[in-house]
Chains A and B, each alone.
Chain A
C-alpha cells in the first residue's frame, strides 16, 4: 500500500502542463461514459460482494489546489455558461442556471472554501446530488463551479491523510495532493441556506 490511489484512466496524462482543451473534452466525455455505465449498473441488481473501500472520485482544479468529489454524487458536468446572478445573496452564490429545464443554484466552490484569491478560470459546473430526508424530493440537487477537470481516481477512503481535517468540508487528502471533499456535509450544511426577508 504505497499509494492510497491508483490512476483509473490510462489516457490521463502524467504532466499537469499537458492538459489542453482537447484532453479535457475527452475527459468530460469519459466521465459521461462512466455516468452512463453507472446508470447501467444501477439498473442491475447489486452484486453480492462490494469491493473494499476504494471509491472513484472526480478530481478538479480550484485555483492552485486539486479537489475531488465522489463520483456517485455526481449527476452531470456542464459547461460554465449562462449563469445568471441572483441578487442579494452571499458571494458564494455564483448564480442560477438552466440545466435541461431545471433551475439549479450554482455555488462558487472556491469562494465558499475561502480560496477566492486564487486565480482560475471557472470552466465547469458539476451537478451534484445528495440524499436529504427533510426535502420533499428526498434529494438535494445543486451545482458547484470549478476551474477545470483533471482526472478520475480510485481512492481508498481508509487510507486518506487526515492532517487537513481541520479544514471544513474536507474528508481527507489522497496521493498527498488531492483534497477529497465531503460533499454530503457541505450541501446539507444549514449555514449555506439563504433565507432572508426585507425588513
Chain B
C-alpha cells in the first residue's frame, strides 16, 4: 500500500533529521569532554541521554544496526561515567568512530554507499571493549562479550544488560508513533518554537515577493501617469479659461439674437455646453487630484510591506554559521592528532547568520584553508617551543556581520608565509621572471598564492606551506561575489580575511547605463561612485587615470571591457568631444583599484539574481541576470572579472608621475541645509564628487548662522525642517541686503504645485522634487543657477 510506504518514508525522513541533529550535538559534547571544558559528569549524562533517545527512535523505525550501535555507545558512555579517570584518546577515537558509523548507516538507508559489515562490527567491538575497559577481550566473539542477546538480529533491546545508569527506560511497542519513543527529558530548543520548512518553499516565497516589488514599481509608474494626466488637465483648464472671452462674445450674440429663432436656440445649446463642460472639467480635475493624493500613501504602505516581507523571508533563509563551523572542531582535532601537533581551534561569532546556500558553498573553501593551517601553518610542538612559542598552536575562526557583508577571519599563530619562498616558487613555476618577482613587495608576493597554477607547485606546499588549492578558494569566493585576502607575519602567523555578501538570492547593485543598455554592478567590492569633470582625467605614462580623493586611480571604459560598440562613452580612447562630465564607479580588491567609466549611474537597488539560460553557462564579466522593474532583463556584471579584465586591457596600478591638470578653477561653495543626516550626506557626497566645497546645516537657523560666518555661492535647502523651514530661510535670504542675489535651490518631497508656488513666491531660484531626485538633476540645476 502506497500510503503506508509514504508514511514510512516520512517517518524515516524525520528520523534522519533527528539523527543528524543528535550526532552533531553529541560530537560537540564529546569535543568539550575531551578538552575537559565543563563538568565531566554533566556532559556524560547529557551524552548518555542523547544516545538513549536515539536508540529508542532507531528502534521505532526498525533500523536495527543503528539501534545496536547506539546501544553499544550507551555502554561505553556508562563505563566512562563509572570510571574515576578521564577517558583516554583511544576511547574518544572510538566514540567519534561510532558517531561516524551511525551517520554512514543512515546514509546507507538513503541508498548511499553501504557500510561494510567489517566496519560496523569493528565499531561495535571497539565500543564494547571501551565499555568493559578490557582491550584484551576484543579478540574472539566480540558480539557476545556482554553475554546478552541484544546484539543478535532478533533482539529488540528487551534483554538489554544492566549497566550502571539509572535513567528510567521505557520500552514502547515498535508500532506506536515515533513521538512517544523520545524519552529525551531535555528539549532541544528550550526557548524558541520552530518548524521545518523546505528551502524550496522559502525560495518560492521570495520569488513571489520579487514579483510583488515589480508590481509596486508598476503602481508607482501609474501614479506618475496620473500626475501627468493632472498636468494635462491643468493645461486644458488654462486653454478653457482663454475660451471665456470667446464665450462672452457668444453671450452678447445670444442677447442680440431674436428670441425663439434657430440661431438663439443653437447659441443656447453651445453656451450651456460650454458652462457644463467647464464645471465637469473642474470636477474631473478634482477627482484626479484626489485619486493621486489617496494613491500616494497606499503606494508607500505597499512599498513598506513588500520591503519588510522580503526582509523577513530573507532572514528566514539565514542560518547561523555554527551549522558549518561546529564540525570543524572535530576535523581540526582529528587532523592535528594525525600530524602529531597540538592545536586549539577557537570558534567565534557562531551566531552570525548567513544565507543557507552561501554557507554551503563556503564550507569546502573554509575546510581547505583550515587543513592548510593545520598541515603547514602550525609548526610541530618541538619547533614551536624552540621558537619560544607555546607548545600548542591556536587557530581562530570568526564570523562577524559588518554592514551588508559577513567577514570571516581565520588566524593562526604558526610560521606564516615566507614571501621569499613564494617568490622563488613562482619563478620556478614560470609564473614570473626572477626580475618581476624581485620587484614585488612582500604583500604582493604573498598574494601570489592565490594565482592559478601556483597551487600545483609541489615544492612550495612542502617548504613554505600554503598555496595548495588557494586559487580554487579564491575562484569559489569570486563566484559568490566574495573576496579573500591574506596577511602574513612571518614567524608569527597567517591571517586570512574572507568577505561575503549576506545573501545570495538578492544583492545590492548599482545600475550603470551604457547607451541604452543597463547593467547591474554588485556593490560588494565597490568602493565608491562619482562624477568627475573630464579634465580630471589624467594621462599617466600613457595610461589613463582619474583623481579620486586626490589619488590617481587607473580608469577604463566599461563599454570596452564589455566589448560593446565604441560609440559608447569613453571607449576605448578619449572622451568624445562635448562630454565634459563622466560618471564612474571604483572597484577595489586588496590593493587594486580601478575606475570604470559609464554614461550614467542610474540607481542603487536590491536585485534578484537569476542564472543565465542555456546555451550560456559562464560568460566573461557576467555573473547572472536580473529582471528590472520595467520587466527588461539587465545583466549582472561580475566585479571580480571586471577587475581582471581591466588588468588585461589597462595595466598595473599607475606609477606615480606628475599629473597634468587643467588650470585650477576656484571651487564653488555650497551650503546644504537639511534635517536628515542621510540626505545631507548624500548631497554632500554628490556635490563634493562634482568638485564643490560643501558646508552643512541642520535647519534654517543654522543655515543663516553659517551664512553669516562664511560666504557661499549657493544654498541648497530642504523645505520641511524644524525651527526654520526652507521657505522662511529663502525669505530671510531675499530680505537681507548681503545675500539678496544668492541662488537658492529648494529640495523637497512635497511635489504639489501649491508647494512649488509657495517656494517660488518665497524667492527660490529652482525647485527639485525628491522623487525625481538624482545626481544629474541636482548638478544640472546647480550649474544653471550658480
Bound form: Cα–Cα A158–B165 in Å: 81
- Report whether B621 and A198 are in contact in the complex, using a CB–CB cutoff of 8 Å: yes
Residue of B with least CB distance to A137: B614
B627 adjacent to A88 (CB under 8 Å): no
Which of A40-48, A67-75, A78-86, A173-181 lies at the interface with chain B?
A78-86
CB-CB under 8 A from A102, the residues of chain B are: 613
Is there a chain A Cβ closer than 8 Å to B352's Cβ? no
Residues from chain A with Cβ under 8 Å of B634 in the complex = 84
B641 at the A interface (CB under 8 A): yes
A105 to B620, CA, bound (A): 16
Complex CA–CA separation, A101 to B632 (angstroms) = 10
Partner of A194, one of B518, B611, B617, B625: B617
Are B211 and A196 closer than 8 Å at their CB atoms?
A: no
Contacts of A101 in B (CB 8 A): 207, 211, 627
List B638-664 residues whose CB lies under 8 Å from chain A. 641, 644-645, 648
Asked if B612 and A86 make an inter-chain contact with CB atoms under 8 angstroms apart, the answer reads yes
Which residue of A is nearest B515, CB measured?
A85
State whether B622 touches A88 (Cβ < 8 A): yes
- What mask results when residues 49 to 84 of chain A are scored 1 for a CB within 8 Å of chain B, else 0? 000000000000000000000000000000000101
Do B620 and A196 have beta carbons less than 8 Å apart?
yes
Of listed B517, B616, B634, B644, residue having the most chain A CB within 10 A: B616
A98–B645 touching, CB < 8 Å: no
* B551 lies within 8 A of chain A by Cβ: no
Known: A82-B631, A84-B632. A89 touches B614 (CB 8 A): no
Interface pair A193/B615, CB less than 8 Å apart: yes
Contacts of B517 in A (CB 8 A): 84-85
Interface size band for B? 20 to 34
**How does the 8 Å CB contact mask read for A182-198 relative to B, with 1 for contact and 0 for none?**
00000100001111111
Whether the Cβ atoms of B633 and A82 lie closer than 8 Å is: yes
Decide if A110 is an interface residue (CB 8 Å cutoff).
no
Task: Find chain A residues with CB under 8 A from B635 CB.
Answer: 84-87, 96
Distance in Å: Cβ of B483 to nearest Cβ of chain A: 16
**With A82-B632, A84-B635: A89-B618 Cβ-Cβ less than 8 Å:** no
Q: Does A93 lie at the interface of the complex (its beta carbon under 8 Å from any beta carbon of B)?
A: yes
Query: Are A88's CB and B616's CB within 8 A?
Result: no
- Give the residues in chain A near B614, CB-CB below 8 Å: 105, 135, 140-142, 187, 193
Number of chain A interface residues as a range = 20 to 34
Residues of chain A contacted by B610 (CB below 8 angstroms): 103
Inter-chain contacts of B564 with A (CB < 8 A): 85, 87
Considering the chains assembled together, what is the distance between the CA atoms of A75 and B133 in angstroms? 70
A88: which of B207, B611, B621, B625 is its contact (CB, 8 Å)?
B621
Tell me the A142-199 residues at the B interface (CB within 8 Å): 142, 187, 192-199
Residues of A within 8 A of B207 (CB): 101
B117 at the interface (CB under 8 A from A): no
Give chain B residues whose Cβ lies under 8 Å from the Cβ of A109. Answer: none
Asked whether, in the complex, the Cβ of A87 is within 8 Å of the Cβ of B621, the reply is: yes
Contact status A196-B619, CB under 8 Å:
yes
**Which residues of A are found within 8 Å of B644, using beta-carbon distances?**
198-199
With a 10 A CB-CB cut-off, give which of A87, A98, A103, A142 has the most chain B CB atoms.
A87
Chain B contacts of A196 at CB under 8 A? 618-620
Q: Which A residue's beta carbon lies closest to that of B642?
A: A198
Annotate B589-621 by CB proximity to A: 1 below 8 A, 0 otherwise: 000000000000000000000111111111111
- A197: which B residues are within 8 A, CB to CB? 618, 620, 641
Q: Which residues of B contact A126 (CB under 8 A)?
A: none
User: When the two chains form their complex, are residues A105 and B621 in contact, meaning their CB atoms are under 8 A apart?
Assistant: no
Instruction: State whether the Cβ of B563 lies closer than 8 Å to any Cβ in chain A.
Output: yes
Q: Is A27 an interface residue (CB 8 A)?
A: no
Closest Cβ of chain B to A188, distance in Å, is 9
- Check if B613 sits within 8 Å of A141, measured CB to CB: yes
Residues of B within 8 A of A96 (CB): 612-613, 616, 625, 633, 635
B562 close to A (CB within 8 Å) = yes
Q: How far is the CB of B588 from chain A (nearest CB, A)?
A: 17
CB pair B633 A88 closer than 8 Å: no
Q: Indicate if A97 sits at the interface (CB-CB under 8 A).
A: yes
Instruction: Give the contacting residue for A195; candidates B562, B611, B617, B631; CB below 8 A.
Output: B617
Q: Does A4 contact B (CB under 8 A)?
A: no
In whole angstroms, how far apart are the Cα atoms of A192 and B615 in the complex? 6
Contacts of B622 in A (CB 8 A): 86-88
**Chain B contacts of A192 at CB under 8 A?**
615
Does chain B have a CB within 8 A of A104? yes
Residues B619 and A103 in contact, CB atoms below 8 Å apart: no
A105 & B563 in contact (Cβ 8 Å cutoff):
no
- Picked from B519, B562, B618, B633, the residue with its CB within 8 Å of the CB of A103 is B633
Separation in Å of the A16 CB from the closest CB of chain B? 33
Pair A89/B619 contact, Cβ less than 8 Å: yes
Give the nearest-CB partner of B627 in chain A: A98
With A88-B562, A89-B619, A198-B620 as contacts: A98 and B632 at CB distance below 8 Å: yes
Q: Which residues of A contact B518 (CB under 8 A)?
A: 84
Q: Which residues of B contact A195 (CB under 8 A)?
A: 617-618
Chain B residue contacts of A84, Cβ below 8 A? 517-518, 625, 632-635
Question: Which of A82, A85, A89, A198 contacts B616 (CB under 8 A)?
Answer: A89
Smallest Cβ-Cβ distance to A190: which chain B residue: B615
Centre residue among A89, A101, A103, A142 by max chain B CB count within 10 A: A103
- The CA-CA distance from A197 to B622 in the complex, in Å, is 10
**Chain A residues, CB < 8 A from B621:** 87-88, 198
Q: Are A86 and B627 in contact (CB under 8 A)?
A: no
A73 and B633 CA atoms in complex are apart in Å by 24
Minimal Cβ-Cβ distance residue in A for B638: A198
Residue in B519, B612, B645 whose beta carbon sits within 8 Å of that of A105 in the complex: B612
A158 → chain B closest CB, angstroms? 30
Given A96-B613, A103-B627, A105-B613 in contact, is the A86-B632 Cβ separation under 8 Å? Answer: no
- What is the CA–CA distance of A135 and B207 in the complex, to the nearest angstrom? 22
Q: Mark B554-591, 1 if CB is under 8 A from A, else 0.
A: 00000000111000000000000000000000000000
A105-144 contact mask (Cβ, 8 Å, vs B): 1 or 0: 1010000000000000000000000000001000011100
Contacts of A142 in B (CB 8 A): 613-615
Chain A residues contacting B613 (CB-CB under 8 Å) are 96, 102-105, 141-142
For B565, give the chain A residue with the smallest CB separation: A85
Across-interface contacts of A199 in B (CB, < 8 A) = 644, 648
Contact check, A105 vs B616: say whether CB atoms are below 8 A apart.
yes
Q: In the assembled complex, which residues on chain A have CB atoms less than 8 Å from the CB atom of B631?
A: 82, 98
Q: Which residues of A contact B562 (CB under 8 A)?
A: 87-88
Q: Which residues of B contact A103 (CB under 8 A)?
A: 610-613, 625, 627, 633
In the complex, chain B residues whose CB is within 8 Å of the CB of A198: 620-621, 641, 644-645, 648
- Known pairs A87-B563, A93-B616, A194-B617. 16 more at Cβ < 8 A? A85-B635, A87-B619, A87-B621, A88-B562, A88-B622, A96-B612, A97-B633, A104-B613, A141-B613, A142-B613, A193-B617, A194-B618, A194-B619, A196-B618, A198-B641, A198-B644
Q: What are some 23 contacts across the A-B interface (CB < 8 A)? A: A82-B632, A84-B632, A87-B562, A87-B563, A88-B562, A88-B563, A88-B622, A89-B616, A93-B616, A96-B635, A98-B631, A101-B627, A103-B610, A103-B612, A105-B612, A105-B614, A142-B613, A142-B614, A142-B615, A194-B615, A194-B619, A197-B641, A199-B644
Among all A-B residue pairs, the 4 with the closest Cβ atoms:
A87-B562, A195-B617, A88-B620, A192-B615
